[in-house]
Structure 1
Amino acid sequence: MRHGSPARHRRRALLSSLAATGLLGSLALTSGFAAEPGATTTRKPQEARLLDTLTVPAGTTEFGMPFGGLSGIDYDPRSGEYVAISDDRSENGKARFYTLRLPLDGAAFAGDRPALDGLTVLADTTAEPFAPKTVDPESIRWTPGARSVLWTSEGASSVGQPAFVREATTSGGYIRELPLPQAYAPVRSASGTLIAGVRNNQALEGLTLTPDGRTVATITENALVQDGPAAGLTTKSPSRLLLMNRRTGQPEAEHVYEVDPVSDAPTAPLPPPVGTYAADRGVSEILAVNRTDYLTVERSFASGVGFSIRLYWTSTIGATDVNGKEALSGTEKPMRKRLLYDFTTSGTDADNVEGITWGPRLPDGSRSLVLVTDDNFGFNGGVTKFHLLAVRGLERHDGR
């Protein structure tokens, strides 16, 4: 079910003089990134800069549904169109994704809001829209040529609802499901305690395709229950990166990615109706650089403090392949990682970043990254933001 939009008058925003004068370099975080001995990455990340941020007012409605909950985004360089998925559990509106445009003017967004092209309702295996609370969409990617989309749902382990990776038509229809290994399935004891599988609300937040389109990669936000603890103030969490053959859907490899400890302790409770103190950290998205290297977004949150967002480069080179293991032993060698960008050093309130994609090439030849935030439909003051970053020393090797 797809809704087209009429042509929109686009108010042109003034470019920041900072972008023109190069003063945005003061926002840069340069990482050094000397490659470890034996590393075979063809390019190593060197620098990332925040160029611009576009904010969508809270409460915005498009096509009769709230425009919010954006948890994944992907860019098609051939059409210049983005696809963005909402994590609406079919409660505020139907489970859906949007197609939109974010044109650039030099090194900044060219307008003060995204240009919405359409809204597409996702269908369940029944060919009908998802019933309320039967799905939790989190990430989305175009397949090669933008012929279809791959997307994830976190499910709800608390009620036995499994996470999944599915393929859908561009009009939202169900095509197929890529089966996850048995280790990911929620398992409960006789008393109802979760003893194995993905943790509730800490499952498949991230999804990406390698540049050749052959491999689908997804990553758990925190460790599977049997693999280790969730991230804490002093505790890392061994998440799993799963690589699957896009054509067959079969697993090709799995690697351990260690999530850093929670950045801050909570200082105040969440607003009603929650009213509790909360703090967590996890991988909210992943983006392929090539067949071995990835970018990850680690999102840390503490009530009363807010969000801490960090962007890392990581690689499977040298990491233990744990494909087929029901549980980790703790002796596995995790993926190497390096900090590429930390929003807390930029002076910008990043908010709840949940999506990242490659954007168009910038005038100076560097690559752009576009990140999007989940506004949680206005809860706790959340708003939708699009962040534009420039990055050097990273190439997809697919001609873009």
Structure 2
Amino acid sequence: MRLRTVLATTTAALAAATCLSAAGPAAATPQASHACSPTVSLDRFSDALDKTTYDGTFVGNFSALAVDRDGSIAALEDRSSLFDLDARTLAPKRVVALADENGAALDSEGLVIDRDGTRLITSETEPSIRRYSADGRILDRLPVPPSLLVAPAGRATANQTFEGLTLLPGGRTLLASMENAISGDSATLVRFQTWTRTKGGHFRPAAQYAYPVDAGLGVPEVQATPDGRLLVLERGFTSGVGNTVRLYLADPRRATDTSAVENLTGQPGVRPIGKTLLADIAACPSLGATAKQPQPNPLLDNIEGMAVTGYSKGRLKVLLVSDDNQNAVQTTRFYYLRVRI
């Protein structure tokens, strides 16, 4: 999502993750002092791709990450390009242009790489979820509940729709997170929509849940954990102050299905997704990072993409990336976290 002021895939094992190098002001050895909270630590960060180009395409505007079947990192940018990055160096290896059925650009935000290698990609424009081949051909388009469409077709606000996308363990349930509330709902209740895989390999709409977002923040990304819970990023920006980015562990398994609930306003009988704060990224050590505009911590930027790159004994390796909006005062930055769940 392009920067605006706000007040206030299936988990893959990636053996190369621990040796990812950082060509730039990144590179630090993991230590206890790298703790962001009791459950989250920051190994290092990398600005290696900031303000670079590849094959004539600007490298940046990143909105989502995923681990591909070959272990490389797929990085989606919100201006209709999907990059393939080397898992060790982050160097781009390929870029694929994306478009809708009429050849128009997408506001591409969420990414899942399915078990057959196809790409499920959201666009905030309608919103939509399309399935693409690895070379960028449209193969399918998922149905979207009418209320989640952008007004006047539905109740959503433009540029505040499907930001996050993840496939739950087992590969049968797809989940998309709205960035902000739809009209008629409480401003602090965001809808998470799911789809169930059919016998023909397509997806049909299924349960929907209410997620309680912190006041003034939105949801730019969501990723499933191996036990069916969710990592949820919440983010906001205040001019002259900087970004707020928080990482939560959320559990939708006992939440109420709200697909038939017209207005989410905290009414009795609706149990939202439970969540627990894992870390406020502003509390992470800066590790020598610099910021091009005011920030509570110079490490911070417009963090928007997230992928789980490894898992062992309740500990996750998590990769984050910021969306620089192709803006001189923002940075494309990758963050390497260890998260205990």
Find out whether 1:382 has 2:340 as its counterpart.
no
Alpha-carbon contact 2:169-2:228 (below 8 Å) kept: no
From 60, 66, 85, the counterpart of 2:58: 66
User: 2:119 aligns to what?
Assistant: 149
The verdict on how the C-alpha distance between 1:291 and 1:29 changes in structure 2, with shifts beyond 3 A counting, is closer
User: 2:253 aligns to what?
Assistant: 317
Unmatched tracts of structure 2, length 5 or more: 1-20, 287-298
From 189, 200, 205, the counterpart of 1:238: 189
Alpha-carbon contact 2:173-2:194 (below 8 Å) kept: yes
Alignment of 1:96-115 (within 5 A): 96-103=81-88, 111=89, 114-115=90-91
User: 2:234 aligns to what?
Assistant: 298
Q: TM-score, normalised by structure 2?
A: 0.82
From 28, 37, 41, the counterpart of 1:49: 41
Letter of the aligned partner of 1:48 in structure 2? V
Separation in 2, partners of 1:171, 1:84:
14
Letter of the aligned partner of 1:29 in structure 2? S
The verdict on how the C-alpha distance between 1:186 and 1:366 changes in structure 2, with shifts beyond 3 A counting, is closer
Find out whether 1:346 has 2:310 as its counterpart.
no
Q: Any idea what the Cα deviations from partners look like across 1:352-391, whole Å, max 9, x if unmatched? A: 11111111358x9943100111000015x11111100012
User: 1:29 aligns to what?
Assistant: 37
The verdict on how the C-alpha distance between 1:287 and 1:57 changes in structure 2, with shifts beyond 3 A counting, is closer
Q: Any idea what the Cα deviations from partners look like across 1:180-209, whole Å, max 9, x if unmatched? A: 111112333xxxxx9x52112111111000
Kindly indicate whether structure 1 or structure 2 has the higher relative contact order, using CA contacts under 8 Å at least 6 residues apart.
2
User: 2:127 aligns to what?
Assistant: 163
Alpha-carbon contact 1:24-1:51 (below 8 Å) kept: no
Alpha-carbon contact 2:50-2:333 (below 8 Å) kept: no
Over the residues paired in the alignment, what is the CA RMSD in angstroms?
2.4
The verdict on how the C-alpha distance between 1:117 and 1:316 changes in structure 2, with shifts beyond 3 A counting, is same
Q: Any idea what the Cα deviations from partners look like across 1:321-355, whole Å, max 9, x if unmatched? A: 11233433531221100001211111432211111
Q: Secondary structure at the match of 1:283?
A: strand
Q: Secondary structure at the match of 2:203?
A: coil
Find out whether 1:251 has 2:259 as its counterpart.
no
Q: Give 1 or 2 for the bigger CA radius of gyration.
A: 1
Q: TM-score, normalised by structure 1?
A: 0.71
Q: Any idea what the Cα deviations from partners look like across 1:123-157, whole Å, max 9, x if unmatched? A: 3224x4x25xxx21111110014x200010111xx
Separation in 2, partners of 1:320, 1:365:
27
Q: Any idea what the Cα deviations from partners look like across 1:223-280, whole Å, max 9, x if unmatched? A: 1112233xxxxxxx11001110133421221110011012xxxxxxxxxxxxxxxxxx
Count residues with an aligned counterpart.
304
Identity of aligned residues (%): 30
**Post-superposition offset of 1:293:** 1.0
Q: Secondary structure at the match of 1:318?
A: coil
Unmatched tracts of structure 1, length 5 or more: 1-9, 31-46, 89-94, 104-110, 156-161, 189-193, 230-236, 263-280, 394-400
Alpha-carbon contact 2:222-2:306 (below 8 Å) kept: yes
User: 2:67 aligns to what?
Assistant: 75
User: 1:327 aligns to what?
Assistant: 263
The verdict on how the C-alpha distance between 1:15 and 1:96 changes in structure 2, with shifts beyond 3 A counting, is closer
Alignment of 1:279-298 (within 5 A): 281-290=217-226, 292-298=228-234
The verdict on how the C-alpha distance between 1:212 and 1:185 changes in structure 2, with shifts beyond 3 A counting, is same
Find out whether 1:86 has 2:44 as its counterpart.
no
Q: Secondary structure at the match of 1:187?
A: coil
Separation in 2, partners of 1:218, 1:14:
34
User: 2:215 aligns to what?
Assistant: 261
Separation in 2, partners of 1:14, 1:120:
28
Find out whether 1:370 has 2:322 as its counterpart.
no
